Structure 1
């Protein structure tokens, strides 16, 4: 095993650990739901809707911000004893929004008869699908193996590179710096490749008309710095756009502006409004595989990719400079 501090491995594997814990919890919930009684129900509402979802944001005092996401609202009614209950949860898995909205609406249209599984201790808690996705643990197992291979393989490769450079550059004590610059440059270059690849895919997505909408003033406080009682009060607005794809309406966010004063926020908004005016019609490129994903601009990500490649080139140049002239 490469000689790295234990906390480095802990940081690298923390996201994977959280995924595994979540999978264990959901598996336990699915096993519990297998014993739930069932009832015949009817879908009374099946529409796409936009909900405000909390998203982690360490720059805010509250620790989160609100984000608009698209959901399939499938509401169904079912009898339990003499009572008629309603629920709109489809499966045991968590619905984070912006995923399979059209598929869920097509699967559960209004008026369709469905089998409802409800919690006998809390009959108002119910689902239409009580099984986890097939192959979940197989995918997690493969993902875990890949993660271990990448982490340990990369660490081993960096160690070998360090050992090689330590014997082939004028200043062996600078070998770690050369490896660090090179590794950072490589990772940033990969990020640029990913951004450009996604932008090129988005450029081929079908185009539909959309409408720009502006939110009202959003007031919040920034996260406080050490020694401060409270962070700076901020004023902001969100710029969103709505569009329809295959007779389903979606909403996405394209920009946020904020400033320390309301007038400052308005000034920034005016600059943004030169491009996006309230009520203006815009061209929206929609991902046909997931219509909740869309974009107004495909050239911006390409510019970001070139910027990332430029930064990667700087790191590469620094690595070469230190390796050849560090002494």
Structure 2
């Protein structure tokens, strides 16, 4: 039966749920922003210390497996402030040592470089240290550990993208919750302006590019260079399984310190593979350690240009998948921005004062997101597009393979690493759930409808036929003729769209299975119906809507747009 308006409590509830999830997502993502800013500020505060010339007297690396971290700088340097001589022993102001011997070796070798090449000893080498202006007795040779200010800011920016996503979810949920109000009062739900959405897509793509060139490309270059590293014999100094405890549980890693020689010099390293890290599963790692006790002869690969760098295993392993990780971010950014520009550049429909021909009305109808109803042909309605399902399946497979593979096997499931990857894991689960939902829809009934004429003048009638395929029977079936009015307007930088239901007529409804299999009903357009109109800011659209309730499977709801036109003179005579 016709109606002048209709509220949708389901959309209101869905909007409230979306707002709640958006608030949770925003608060959770804010952790990354706060952590990144704190990391940047902590390093920046040390960068504010005064740079002072200093003389290094000793720089050795102490290795003690009973301490955490096991490698520390045995350092002594002297500096002068306002005529007073001070001594310092700290390498970093906010870091005691490192779990990687190579980190300290890199710094020591760099400081040992003199104007004429490598110095035989660190004694007497000159450098710059950082002195606390509030306490000149406190000084550090370096302002901070790896990462520093840019690493913290990049981490905060990374979290900021997810905060924006959360804000967008809240914004969209608020608009969806107001759908019932907009249907009655005409007040539109708020939509972000194309500029804001475009900026969001640009940031999303920028994060992908940042991950690509800031993490993937450097690691890929290092992996490629490792193929040229020289194999040399080495001997294990210590071999053990180390555990890392966090709120998320305990993870384990193999820690092997080995000694090797290269060009008449002896070196130490504990680097095992390209990425390192820890993961769950103690037994397998302990078996590897038991098979390589101290004194075991092994082969390692040494960087000829920097012989203090060595690795036991130069294969990429699971981390080879890391190259795919930025791909979804980049694609979403590119296609998102492309879609906005394509939408803005698309010509808007400007209807003629006279009645449009069926051909021109059809062209205008196809500018919408809902497919147009062809005349005389059977068309599928309410189905899951196979191409979309394949894309969703591939996307879910790549995303979850890239995220869950390294999390489980390469040691990022510990503590903060797990927290870092949790949003990506949640996205992967959501996409996987969408795949399951779409696959279940494939097992449901399939409906096709046919209209002899989908370009109808006011007062015209035409039969609408339907037929069902598949073994599953719906419990309820209905066909509707629906008219919607859409009005868009700008308020500052935001675009608002009001959508109201100005007409709804129940054409057919049944709970009898045999009546759902096939049938037809006569569709008559009201003689006073408003014709289809596609303007720049206002649209009047008509739809054939099919709804079917299916037990234990996703319900079916599909619609096809038809054209209602003003009769021409020949039709009136």
Question: What is the TM-score when the length of structure 1 is the normalising length?
Answer: 0.52
- Aligned with 2:238 (options 208, 214, 218): 214
Does the 8 Å CA contact 1:89/1:128 hold for their aligned counterparts? yes
Matches within 5 A, 1:1-327: 3=19, 4-31=21-48, 33-34=49-50, 41-50=54-63, 66-69=68-71, 73-78=74-79, 85-90=86-91, 92=93, 94=95, 97=98, 98-99=102-103, 101-107=105-111, 109-114=122-127, 118-119=131-132, 122-128=135-141, 136=149, 144-145=156-157, 147-149=159-161, 152-153=164-165, 198=219, 201-202=222-223, 204-205=225-226, 206-209=229-232, 210-215=234-239, 239-243=256-260, 247=265, 249-252=267-270, 254=272, 269=286, 272-274=289-291, 276-285=292-301, 294-299=310-315, 301-302=317-318, 312=401, 319-326=434-441, 327=553
* 2:270 partner SS: strand
Deviations 1:237-276 (A, max 9, x none): 954334467857333165999999xxxx8x98566444x3
From the superposition, tell whether residues 149 and 195 of structure 1 become closer, same or farther in structure 2 (CA, over 3 Å). closer
* 2:313 partner SS: coil
Deviation at 1:45, TM superposition (A): 1.0
Does the 8 Å CA contact 1:30/1:132 hold for their aligned counterparts? no
* 1:240 partner SS: strand
C-alpha RMSD over aligned residues: 5.9
From the superposition, tell whether residues 25 and 196 of structure 1 become closer, same or farther in structure 2 (CA, over 3 Å). closer
Does the 8 Å CA contact 2:60/2:74 hold for their aligned counterparts? yes
Deviations 1:102-146 (A, max 9, x none): 34443353212456664576554223466999x946x76566445
Distance 2:279 2:93 in 1: 37
* 1:89 partner SS: coil
* 2:103 partner SS: coil
Deviation at 1:211, TM superposition (A): 2.0
* 2:164 partner SS: helix
Distance 1:310 1:317 in 2: 10
Deviation at 1:312, TM superposition (A): 3.4
Deviations 1:147-175 (A, max 9, x none): 43355359859x99xxxxxxxxxxxxxxx
Distance 1:288 1:10 in 2: 48
Higher RCO (CA 8 Å, separation ≥ 6 residues): 1
Deviation at 1:81, TM superposition (A): 9.2
Does the 8 Å CA contact 1:68/1:252 hold for their aligned counterparts? no
Distance 2:399 2:154 in 1: 34
From the superposition, tell whether residues 291 and 277 of structure 1 become closer, same or farther in structure 2 (CA, over 3 Å). same
1:177 is aligned to none
Deviation at 1:26, TM superposition (A): 3.7
Deviation at 1:323, TM superposition (A): 0.5
User: For this pair of structures, how many residues does the alignment match?
Assistant: 263
From the superposition, tell whether residues 320 and 50 of structure 1 become closer, same or farther in structure 2 (CA, over 3 Å). same
From the superposition, tell whether residues 291 and 19 of structure 1 become closer, same or farther in structure 2 (CA, over 3 Å). farther
Q: Which has the larger radius of gyration?
A: 2
Deviation at 1:20, TM superposition (A): 0.9
Question: What is the TM-score when the length of structure 2 is the normalising length?
Answer: 0.33
From the superposition, tell whether residues 295 and 215 of structure 1 become closer, same or farther in structure 2 (CA, over 3 Å). closer
Deviation at 1:87, TM superposition (A): 1.5
Distance 1:203 1:84 in 2: 48
1:178 is aligned to none
From the superposition, tell whether residues 245 and 7 of structure 1 become closer, same or farther in structure 2 (CA, over 3 Å). farther
Deviation at 1:21, TM superposition (A): 1.9
* 1:99 partner SS: helix
2:393 is aligned to none
